[in-house]
Structure 1
């Protein structure tokens, strides 16, 4: 019997419920922010709200029942942006991107049952992992600034004479203060506050920025247009783009799951006696299965949320916390008309702060080694300026590999395979642009 099963953590229904409320408050912003990001694909925002809630419900239930850990899951910040970039920026269909997520989830699930998972995670240099995380963080922050009107599409600062832009700017300054003061559900509170103030602030057309629905509670519409909407034919026709992105969805989920599971279980005191993750194989399996099922309902990659640590601080110790979070997302789904009424300006501080928090990974970067700095900065710089993560990853990965070979640093076969796939993508992209 494993140590975590032999000595189950002491808890109570009250503590688990309070932990679930805290976790939901900390990550509830995803129901507003994820649809905002994915809406650039042209998908219906009302359907995206329901898809986001369903994804959180499915993922959290899997982790609760299979992984038995107090960790909630939802569409991953970062990979949802890559998903949107692939559809809006690379011209592939929503169904094609869903196949990429499905493939990544299948590979994740297969690896979760093997001993290769730790080797795969460690095969990628810290510099590339940091560059990916921080590059996406910066891009998410940029999306937030553009959505709030603080940054125009041609790179200029927004017009502060516009009341809506001023409101977004004020919220952007106030939200970090709430976070610094450790105010519970700070991001969610900022979204609610700006939405309410928007009732009194004129928008671009002179009417109120926020329009409340006549019926705030309604039966959620089933997202039938996005359920099992896989486009396998297009996936095969776009393999040069599809394979690197499917690989990214797999690896990004792997890195995120590993970091979140370690961080949250360590804070909860749930680590086994030998310092290993409790229920590691089951937890990874739950994560992988969540992404597979999520792709079937139209969601980008589903991942463990680090905000679960707030629930752990409140006393969450078992999978019951995750199950209760799923129930709370179920209730939230019936308020989709209210969620749809949230203006883009209200999501600006949440998006920017999510991007800022994703930058915390930079502390792991050893800048004393030039190969680390060059590869990480290239990924960040090109991801933000081109809006194409694959191009940024290619530049950073190529630079790291060439410098490592020159310095006779061992390069893992997984990285070399990634370089090969990225080279094919870049070559075909150049030919497409040339013609």
Structure 2
């Protein structure tokens, strides 16, 4: 156990049995990613079967990295939020292919890993105003929830509420209402449970074509197909050919992973009682390094940014205290790849409630926003509003960031070079996008 502890000089108060239970709890809490992530990324046109395997492999590698290098009870997987941005960039065209987006993820991950080895990581995180960070997190939460509502038929392409006379839509609506009840009752693996229940109900509920929503595969267990078309599938020519979009998005993947890793590591280690007296994360440099390496290897496997999952807190609540938890979660994901036919059978209606709940939980960051200052409220709301209405995070970020910078200048609030550089890149993106659209 000492090998997996972040502080090898002080043995953790835990047992192997507790670590195994904690790993099972964490995997149950975040297992929905194997269904939800492929659902989000499917708009890119990539085969869903390949996406299931890519998701599981990326989660396996990331969790093993954190367990063996970071030695903390924190599991990693493709990040909710950045996966939506990744899918949005590819689906909207503008010459951005899946391989180009992978190159953006790799670039952001390399910068992240470089910064992880220095103390600059602390300065970069603090350089972004809280209002912009909150707007990004909450805006993505709303966008993810919107994806779920559209996929399950509760929101039509015209923006109207779905037809509850259709059994499939009614089932989706019931799941959206009942899943939060399971969560507030602290039912173990509540989100994953809701996916399973709706999938089973789909065997008896007809879809729009009159056939059952759920079609069980002929074999539940099968050797996973190797996603050879996407492993090392980087398109660097596309990356450098569309720098106006590549740089802001690569910067977003870097900063998004940075903020997510910081918030998750602080929250989980604090809850586990692993922080020292000064409030520092144990083995912080190695933990950040593991997160960065997870994203590098994940992008090589064809995955968007791999990040620490806040659901790891459920494992901590079950007694997990060392990196053995993350190692076991990684092995569970490896085992799950052999059940890809069963995961592929999950209908879109079953993921709606999960996506809505993920979106709602991402909104929790709004409690950190100082709403007594108008510059904070305007910036955050603009990001959220334009992200969810236009379906374009970069447009939302540009509006919110510009608004904050202008108000900060008028009010003589100090802004750092990171924000000003971001504004410049976003302005370049908007100008070139406008030229491309009207040429």
Normalised by the size of structure 1, how large is the TM-score? 0.99
Cα deviations across residues 380-426 of structure 1 (Å, max 9, x unaligned)?
A: 00000110000000000000000000111101111000000000000
CA contact (8 A) 2:70 2:290 kept: yes
Q: Specify the alignment match of 2:90 in structure 1.
A: 87
Q: Structure 2 CA distance, aligned partners of 1:389 and 1:244?
A: 11
Q: What's the counterpart of residue 67 of structure 2? A: 64
Q: 2:42 aligns with which of 39, 44, 61?
A: 39
Query: Is contact 2:99–2:235 with CA below 8 Å preserved after alignment?
Result: yes
Q: CA deviation at 1:330?
A: 1.2
Residue number among 265, 273, 279 corresponding to 2:277 in the alignment: 273
Give the CA RMSD over aligned residues.
Answer: 0.9
| Mapping for residues 280-291 of structure 1, pairs under 5 Å | 280-291=284-295
Preserved contact between residue 6 and residue 323 of structure 2 (Cα < 8 Å): no
- Does the Cα contact within 8 Å between 1:59 and 1:302 map onto a contact in 2? yes
Kindly indicate whether the alpha-carbon contact (under 8 Å) linking 1:82 and 1:389 is maintained by their aligned counterparts in 2. Answer: yes
The aligned counterpart of 2:147 is: 143
**Partner of residue 248, structure 1:** 252
What is the aligned counterpart of 1:211 among 196, 209, 215? 215
Query: Unaligned 5+ residue runs, structure 1?
Result: none
Q: 2:135 touches 2:380 (CA, 8 Å); kept in 1?
A: yes
Q: TM-score, normalized by length of structure 2?
A: 0.98
Q: 1:194/1:3 Cα in 2 relative to 1: closer, same or farther (>3 Å)?
A: closer
Pick aligned residue for 1:399 from 403, 419, 422: 403
- Determine whether 1:230 maps to 2:231: no
Corresponding residue of 1:129: 133
The CA distance in 2 between the partners of 1:407 and 1:396, in whole Å, is 16
Cα distance change of structure 1 residues 376 and 361 upon mapping to structure 2, 3 Å threshold: same
CA distance in 2, matches of 1:269, 1:357: 23
Distance 2:112 2:56 in 1: 22
Give SS of 1:70's match: coil
What is residue 172 of structure 2 aligned with on the other side? Answer: 168
Whole-angstrom CA distance in 1 between matches of 2:92 and 2:275: 42
CA contact 1:4–1:272 (8 Å) conserved in 2: no
Question: Within 2, Cα distance between the matches of 1:140 and 1:153?
Answer: 16
Q: Which residue of 2 aligns with 1:29?
A: 32
Moved more, 151-160 or 96-105: 151-160
Q: What's the CA shift string for 1:66-106, capped at 9, x where partnerless?
A: 00000000000000000000000143100000000000000
Q: How far did 1:274 drift? A: 2.1
**What 5-or-longer segments of structure 2 have no aligned partner?**
none
Q: Could you tell me how far apart the structure 2 residues matched to 1:101 and 1:362 are?
A: 26
Alignment partners' CA distance in 1, 2:410 and 2:434 = 27
Aligned to 1:428: 432
Superimposed CA distance per residue, residues 10-39 of structure 1 (whole angstroms, 9 cap, x where no aligned partner): 221110000000000000000000000000
For the Cα contact (< 8 Å) 2:6–2:71, is it kept in 1?
no
Counterpart contact for 1:56–1:74, Cα < 8 Å: yes
TM-superposed CA distance for 1:177, in Å, is: 0.3
Distance 1:279 1:26 in 2: 25
